[in-house]
Amino acid sequence: MGANTLLYNTAKVGTAPKLSALYDAKYKARSPFPTTRSRSRTPRCTSPRRSRRSGSRPYALDDKQLTAAADLLKRQRPLIRKYWSLASDEIDLFKNGDAVVGASWPYQTITLQARRSRSRT
């Protein structure tokens, strides 16, 4: 388990976007557009999770929740540039300017920031 973050190109996206950017047609209209992890295509990964402290099971969805998550993914699909499986896939998309916003992990952010710092020196 680890943190999920929203990665974005600060030079091309003015105000820091919210997670909802992954479902916003505004970013598709701009080329390039969002990326997200391939596993997030599954409804159980898309659905809101409850805290373990509350004693609930985070992936135990009822039919209504599962249908809502599946519907959200169906709306998202045409907006996504790439569903990435490897962190390096997303890093390459951002390095090449093929993505401006994406669901990410801290690793991609740190890697891209380090590359940017090295290119300035």
pLDDT digits over 74-121, tens only? Answer: 888 888 878 888 899 999 999 998 888 988 899 999 999 998 888 776
- Residue 13 inside a domain? The answer is yes
Number of domains in the chain: 1
Contact 14, 23 (CB under 8 A): no
In CATH, what number is assigned to the domain containing residue 12?
A: 3.40.190.10
Higher local confidence (pLDDT), 31 or 67: 67
Q: How confident is the model at residue 72 (pLDDT cuts 50, 70, 90)?
A: confident
What pLDDT, on a 0 to 100 scale, did the predictor assign at position 80? Answer: 83
- Residue 52 inside a domain? The answer is no
Q: Considering the chain, what percentage of its residues have pLDDT values greater than 90? A: 17
Q: Which domain holds residue 9?
A: 5-45+57-120
What pLDDT, on a 0 to 100 scale, did the predictor assign at position 16? Answer: 92
Q: Which residues contact 3 (CB under 8 A, 6 or more apart)?
A: 105, 106
- Residue 51 inside a domain? The answer is no
- Residue 63 inside a domain? The answer is yes
- Residue 50 inside a domain? The answer is no
